[in-house]
Structure 1
Amino acid sequence: MGIGIGIVLLVIGLILVTGAVDLPASIDDAIASDTLGWICLVAGALAIVLALVMNSQRTRSTTRVERVEEQRHLD
């Protein structure tokens, strides 16, 4: 799920940075689309890197299960 969110943020960031979509004037006056685009780009790249690191740690870890059996004493 983290990789997917990272890719979405990267795409949104690239769209905002390059100006591929013209935002309405009311939105463009309220936010700086270039700055928001760079923030989305950095957040997307960070999300992808963190997801890959977490995934690699998950595959390297091993789980050890010990089974303890109780001995019943009959009196």
Structure 2
Amino acid sequence: MGLGGCIILIAAGAILTFATDWDMQGVNLDLVGLIFMIVGLIGVATFSSVARRRRVVMGAGTPVIDEERPHRGSYRDGQGS
């Protein structure tokens, strides 16, 4: 479930808990809305934790070494300089 799904769960839970006054026999809509909001918050926390772990930041001082490019004056390609 992505971040959008988690936000939809939180919104649907808030609507069920705070904005409705329906009475269904055998179903407590306030509790269902509360469960939706809790699951949505857990999803947001998990999504942000996974997204933070995937992010790789290389510092500005990290050297990039290209080992495939032949150096000038080498005989690796069969020709001299």
TM-score by length of 1: 0.66
Unaligned runs of 5+ residues in structure 2 are 59-81
| Post-superposition offset of 1:60 | 3.2
Match of 1:50 in 2: 46
How far apart are the structure 2 equivalents of 1:29 and 1:15?
Answer: 19
**Structure 2 residue 23 is the aligned partner of structure 1 residue 30:** no
Give % identity.
26
Q: How does 1:1-75 map to 2 (within 5 A)?
A: 1-18=1-18, 20-23=19-22, 25=23, 28-60=24-56
- The runs of at least 4 aligned residues of structure 1 exceeding 2 Å deviation read none
- Which consecutive residues of structure 1, in runs of 5 or more, have no partner in the other structure? 63-75
Bigger proportion of residues as helix:
1
* 1:17-49 Cα distance to aligned partner (Å, 9 max, x none): 10x2344x5xx1131101001100100001011
- Alpha-carbon RMSD across the aligned residues, in angstroms, is 2.0
Matched to 2:5, the amino acid is I
